[in-house]
Amino acid sequence: MNKSGMFGGSMVALVTPMHVDGSVDYKSLANLVEFHIENSTSAIVSVGTTGESATLNMEQHCDVMARTVEMVGGRIPVIAGTGANSTWEAIELTRCAQQGGADACLLVTPYYNKPPQRGLYAHHKKIAETVDIPQILYNVPGRTACDMLPETVRQLSEIDNIIGLKDATGDLGRLAETQSLLADTEFGLYSGDDATGAEFMLRGGQGVISVTNNVAPKAMAEMCEAALSGDRELAESINQRLAGLHSRLFLESSPIPVKWALFEMGLIEPGIRLPLDILDEQYHEPLRHAMRQAEVL
């Protein structure tokens, strides 16, 4: 049993559907929620990086989180993306998530301002002490220019309501190092890198917070179930079918490709907010090929 026992398996880093004018498309959001529940997604992450947290203002961010919780209606957990590079902004977003009924929050390391490890520790400690809701750390140095080291994760794991880590480094050696420091704890470890997610779980991780899950939730749920049960052969077989999506959903910055794929599937409109833009035409056919390989098109 891990410290974050209600969270695990195939969790989706959900897109925020938008109309072509950039306004939030709540009807499509409700349809996506049902799509994921019907296809065995185990939890929804609302307004993370894939949900365009960087381009929603505070009011919109809070509204999308709360309405997602309402749409889900307690059927699966909702984890709200509430990280920011200002500690006080992260506290306000985390309060919004708590008031909106989220089950937990996902807090990305502060981006751009590049705090030292002691600053990362103080930042997350302050948020956890200020807002009493389960919190999952999120380390994605490729986007943030900030790398939370395993020793800092270990220190933060001692805080009661910091319950897990989403590791998007794609470094399985980092997983082993983190596991060794967290031995004999109940701290949850989740992959944030689809390409290595299956192996991450086969090596003892509890789940994956996935971009691919947006497009192929049923296959991702089956792959995660196999990996978590230790069935390497089945997990790798399913994952092979998804490998094209794992790579081609990052042909341009996420969520550009995944939003285009969902539009291609007829699930959302093509809306996305600047400075992001609709997927470049040269990538349409490579992504369609991956979608056909994954049997979603």
DSSP characters over 124-187: HHHHHHHS-S-EEEEE-HHHHS----HHHHHHHHTSTTEEEEEE-S--HHHHHHHHHHTTTS--
Six token digits for residue 263? 């539009």
| Active-site residue (options: 3, 111, 121, 138) | 138
CA distances for 158 relative to 3, 44, 117, 161, angstroms: 11, 26, 16, 9
Tell me if residue 81 falls in helix, strand or coil. Answer: strand
Tell me if residue 4 falls in helix, strand or coil. Answer: coil
Amino acid at 275: P
112 catalytic, yes or no?
no
Where are the strands (E) in 25-159, listed by range? 43-46, 78-81, 104-108, 135-139
d(CA 23, CA 60): 10
| Active-site residue (options: 3, 121, 166, 259) | 166
111 catalytic, yes or no?
no
Q: Point out the residues that are catalytic.
A: 138, 166
